Structure 1
Amino acid sequence: MRRSPNRDAARQTSHPARPIRKPGVQPPSHSPHARHRPRSAGSRRPPASPWGCRRGAVGGSGAGIKRRDGGRGRPSPLLLAMLRLLLLLLLGAAGALPAPRRRRAAVPPPAPYLTRYLRQQIDHFGFDENLTFQQRYLVADQYWKKDNGPILFYTGNEGDITWFCNNTGFMWDVAEELNAMLVFAEHRYYGESLPFGNESFSDSKHLNYLTSEQALADFAVLIEYLKTTIAGARYSPVIAIGGSYGGMLAAWFRMKYPHVVVGALAASAPIWQFGDLVPCGTYFSVVTNDFKTSGTGCSESIRNSWNAINHLSSTDAGLQWLSSTFHLCSPLKNHQDAAILKNWLSETWINLAMVNYPYKADFLQPLPAWPIKEVCKFLKDPGLSDKLLLQNVFQAVNLYYNYSGEASCLDMSETATKNLGQLGWYYQACTEMVMPMCTDGVNDMFEPQKWDFDALSEECYRLWGVRPRPSWILSVYGGKNISSHSNIVFSNGGLDPWSAGGVTKNITDSLVAIVIPDGAHHLDLRSRNPADPKSVQQARALEICYMKQWIEKARRSH
């Protein structure tokens, strides 16, 4: 438990005003694969909404997990396969993905901001104790117009808030145009916002307050605090913005606290990836289609690679050959290690689908423009012998993990980014964030694996002493019964596998879906880039249009 002596503590953190650029990776003025991009929008325009905006489709910390038996260890391979996939949700966020050993340079902030802390209740919904913690948030007000300007409020994901601040360039790009203040709020149990300090992940008792509902209450309290303590902010309209899990929170924030935020932009937010709202295999079907359309024989080569690994891993000589061919830091010793190799490869293809951006980027790893097209250049012939096929698979996966050429070997156990919270999300996936996933090997390029809720439940109980509640999110937020809500824009990229669980069709005139055919995981929230497809440019323009309408309507009400 951490108590705050002050209601709000501010640290004047100075950051040079610089545009978002990853060290050593300069965005190109054009994409080398522009002529191969998916076809952009047709000329037919969607109907105008009452707002006047065109709507519809655009362009047509811990050392391990403490088990109930008192020991420490990693989850079983079965749980890792399930939970690691769910962990990919965050911003694209592959918090538990393997990667080569390399030191990632810090992403520079796009502009100066203040780092501040607010004392929050650990439990907003109980009154028998008064435990508190310090929630971190970031504020940038250089473009804000006092007494009139809006507040764009980022609903923090499962990770360090500075990372999301520095990777959400869209908000910085539009701040001056909207005369807006920017606020980035850190999610409890992530980054520095740890309710019980180093004990926050020690057991389920300390983790009991890690829920989306408690996080939304934190956000609401923070906004009310800002409005009452910042001169001229009392009547500032607030718009929630988030991507991936943060996008889900943005949408749910508007649903649960419509008096606090006037609207929400929910980018790549799979709010319907729960229960039986969507088939459990659609996520992997989108991943497969990305590879299928990016090169002849590409998805078939990946589908055939699993049997090739199975054949070779059946002997010691084959395991040695696989270890050498894939330049693994730790050699494969048995069949279980071979299963980990396959999980690692699966996660690589999933990651590539999420970060298939039209320009060089360093979101999870340094990658070229349209990286799936580059990967598929190695995977043209699915009919090769096992060894030749897997040599090509190595070349493909090496492009993802070693594009910079810095890795001497590939490590299947190291994380791709340390800015995303691994233990916290594991717990959330074991409680309320239960998103069914499955593969069949026919409609996708992966090995068949059924959704096994019972196995997940047993592992979660063994690790945390908790049982997942698969229908809780539907009960709390309404599932598909959300037509009574208003002022939410759901944006989804056609290349993003999480779009399978997202809102891709308009529900009402004010619950609007924007589909970006050429977009990967919340591409619209990234900084503007000369290589941006027309479809994402149109999407951003439409999002800004809706935000202006919400702001104007809110101003007229005061």
Structure 2
Amino acid sequence: MFSNRDTLGYGSIEVRHPRGDEGHHELEVDADSLSEKSVDNHRNSLTSTRRLLGIVGGVCLLSIVYSVAIRGHGKVTSGGVHYDGTMVDEPFYYKEQTLDHFTPNKDEAPWAQRYYQDDKYFAGPGHPIFVIMGGEDAVNGILYPFVSKHLAKRFRAHTLCLEHRFYGKSKPLKHPSTADLRRLLSPAQALADAVQFIEYKRKQLGCGNKGTKSYCPVVTVGGSYPGFLSALLRIVYPDVVDIGYASSAPLHLYSHRVNKAAYFEKVTQVAEQASRGCAGAVKNALMDVTEKLLASKRSVAEVAFDLGVCVATVPDYIMDNEIFQQEIMMVVSTHFAEYNMGYYPPGPDQDLVQGCLIFQDTKSSSEQKVSNFLRLREDFDECFDMQTELPPGPNGTISASDWSGVGDGHSGYMWDFQSCTLLPECGMSDASMFPPRPWTIEWETQHCQVRFGVEPNLRQLVDEFGFADLSNVTHLLFTNGINDGWSVASILTDLSESVKAINFVNGAHHSDLSHVDLSEHDTEDIKAGHAAISDLLHDWLNSV
């Protein structure tokens, strides 16, 4: 559920691992080298135009940084500057983070966890701290301007944004083995990181004990998987976290209380609403291509070329047309899933609509439609680079442990591992617009064993944290965009007076926590929702 691109699969095709069963293994992972190798592999097809765009973008970024820097005069600036004049987007490092919170070893050194902070509105002890949780990607600045610029301003709060362990620059170990990851890369460890960090920042800011005027109530915030973490922090550590704000948080997905096919069926429904006739057009084209691929006697290279794929980028494990069909259909479905998550504000210029229109073009063949859809993104001017969908490391496959997409590079590798424990069950049924492919625990188990040597446990998370029953929880807010595929797995109704749900008819994936600032383009339901969220937090903070 790669939320920064952002926030699964099914079918009746025979389950078989394309590489065979290679047994358990202990893989030593060099996170830096994974990223470097993936960059080398994935960028061979860059055109001179894209290089020029990169140069121009870099120059623009430098000019923005320079302009903000020369304007900054501490607290009086409206730009990103701290009291001491340092940039808000300058990273900080908490250097005393515990490696293993549950089996500590005095011989294991602490590590440095990256975070960002903004104190320009902070009125000192006695005022709130907003802690934005990072997730399955690097954090390169403070996420969610609604929090840092608006909620923080109203509540005179301090804003923090904490990067998740093993992502970005937050690397507890430089060369972790899979045994290390099994021990150290889990939601439980990430929650404990946040708790230790919160207590450190409270002390650093001079906050007093609960019940005193100098107490600093903590509100955790997150969208998608980080929204799940934000909710868990309030559920599991109520003495540390006073309020949880969880947007597009798929609790029912991780407690396995949602139909396995629901996610892609919702993606299909929203695509049809976005462009009438889309679902049928997509399904007809994809089924046509599927039938041709499975019946074809041509080589993988030949059929890949017909679909606009850069032949040299077809992964080595794809040795026949059946595997190629599975993987190219997985790419199409995950791209549609990504466009679904970004479908806000809804309108004809959104990628979801543009993708639908490609398949609704009656003048194009099914192969041309797939080819044009794969190249919808600006990155692929000439042909589609399949390596961009392949997480690095031994035994990596495009159909990975999270069928909504794991991404490439270092983050893709780590999320592939994490999803072997989170177990996001979602696949493609006959009711979706994608060729049927059911998700099964047998497929997931085989993938996770061959890839990482881990055995998935369906009940582990929900048994460990007890989030299937929220009857004893207070001060927890869930928000959802109804156009978001993940809304089928979230909390959509109030569970009590202090476990609330706010839904947005026009919203997509954590649209209330958009990565861009509030604007006149926001829909009326999101605007009203922002006011409602702010008022609810006001009431809850007063009660704290």
* TM-score, with structure 1 as normaliser: 0.73
Contact 2:26 2:452 in 1 (8 A): no
CA shift for structure 1 position 294 = 1.7
Contact 1:320 1:331 in 2 (8 A): no
CA shift for structure 1 position 343 = 1.6
State the alpha-carbon separation in 1 of the partners of residues 468 and 277 from structure 2: 37
Equivalent position to 1:492, from 480, 491, 500: 480
Matched, 1:439 2:467: no
Contact 2:138 2:168 in 1 (8 A): yes
Contact 1:295 1:380 in 2 (8 A): no
Contact 1:155 1:186 in 2 (8 A): yes
Equivalent position to 1:316, from 298, 302, 312: 298
Partner residue of 1:91? none
State the alpha-carbon separation in 2 of the partners of residues 495 and 551 from structure 1: 30
Equivalent position to 1:341, from 328, 345, 348: 328
CA shift for structure 1 position 156 = 1.6
Partner residue of 2:113? 135
SS at match of 2:540: helix
Partner residue of 1:154? 132
Q: 1:507 to 1:380 in 2, by over 3 A?
A: same
State the superposition RMSD in angstroms. Answer: 3.1
> Which deviations, in whole Å up to 9, do the C-alpha atoms of 1:425-484 show, x marking residues without a partner?
1111112x012113222x211121222112211221222222111111111222431111
CA shift for structure 1 position 252 = 0.3
Contact 2:223 2:510 in 1 (8 A): yes
Q: 1:479 to 1:238 in 2, by over 3 A?
A: closer
Matches for 1:160-179 after TM superposition, within 5 Å: 160-162=138-140, 165-166=142-143, 168-179=145-156
Partner residue of 2:93? 117
Partner residue of 1:300? 280
Equivalent position to 1:548, from 531, 538, 542: 538
Matches for 1:90-109 after TM superposition, within 5 Å: 101=46
One-letter code of the match for 2:387? S
SS at match of 2:333: helix
> Which deviations, in whole Å up to 9, do the C-alpha atoms of 1:74-128 show, x marking residues without a partner?
xxxxxxxxxxxxxxxxxxxxx9xx9984566578797232532221111112245
Q: 1:70 to 1:190 in 2, by over 3 A?
A: closer
Partner residue of 2:343? 356
SS at match of 2:266: helix
State the alpha-carbon separation in 1 of the partners of residues 533 and 408 from structure 2: 31
> Which deviations, in whole Å up to 9, do the C-alpha atoms of 1:151-186 show, x marking residues without a partner?
1101121221225x2455543333222211110111
Q: Name the count of aligned residue pairs.
A: 448
Partner residue of 1:410? 384
Partner residue of 2:228? 248
CA shift for structure 1 position 347 = 1.2
Contact 1:169 1:525 in 2 (8 A): yes
One-letter code of the match for 2:423? V
Matches for 1:284-295 after TM superposition, within 5 Å: 284-295=264-275
CA shift for structure 1 position 285 = 1.1
State the alpha-carbon separation in 1 of the partners of residues 521 and 425 from structure 2: 35
Partner residue of 2:195? 220
Q: 1:450 to 1:338 in 2, by over 3 A?
A: closer
One-letter code of the match for 1:285? E
Contact 1:237 1:261 in 2 (8 A): yes
* TM-score, with structure 2 as normaliser: 0.75
Contact 2:308 2:371 in 1 (8 A): yes
State the alpha-carbon separation in 1 of the partners of residues 104 and 183 from structure 2: 15
SS at match of 1:283: helix
Q: 1:192 to 1:237 in 2, by over 3 A?
A: same
Contact 1:356 1:369 in 2 (8 A): no
One-letter code of the match for 1:421? S
Matches for 1:478-557 after TM superposition, within 5 Å: 478-526=466-514, 527-554=517-544
State the alpha-carbon separation in 2 of the partners of residues 210 and 369 from structure 1: 39
State the alpha-carbon separation in 1 of the partners of residues 506 and 346 from structure 2: 12
Contact 2:220 2:241 in 1 (8 A): yes
Partner residue of 2:83? none
CA shift for structure 1 position 419 = 8.4
Contact 2:306 2:367 in 1 (8 A): no
State the alpha-carbon separation in 2 of the partners of residues 159 and 545 from structure 1: 31
Give the fraction of aligned pairs with identical amino acids, expressed as a percent. 24
Which ranges of structure 2 fall in alignment gaps of 5 or more residues? 1-21, 30-38, 66-78, 81-86, 209-213, 390-405
Matches for 1:200-211 after TM superposition, within 5 Å: 200=176, 202-211=177-186
Which ranges of structure 1 fall in alignment gaps of 5 or more residues? 1-65, 74-94, 361-367
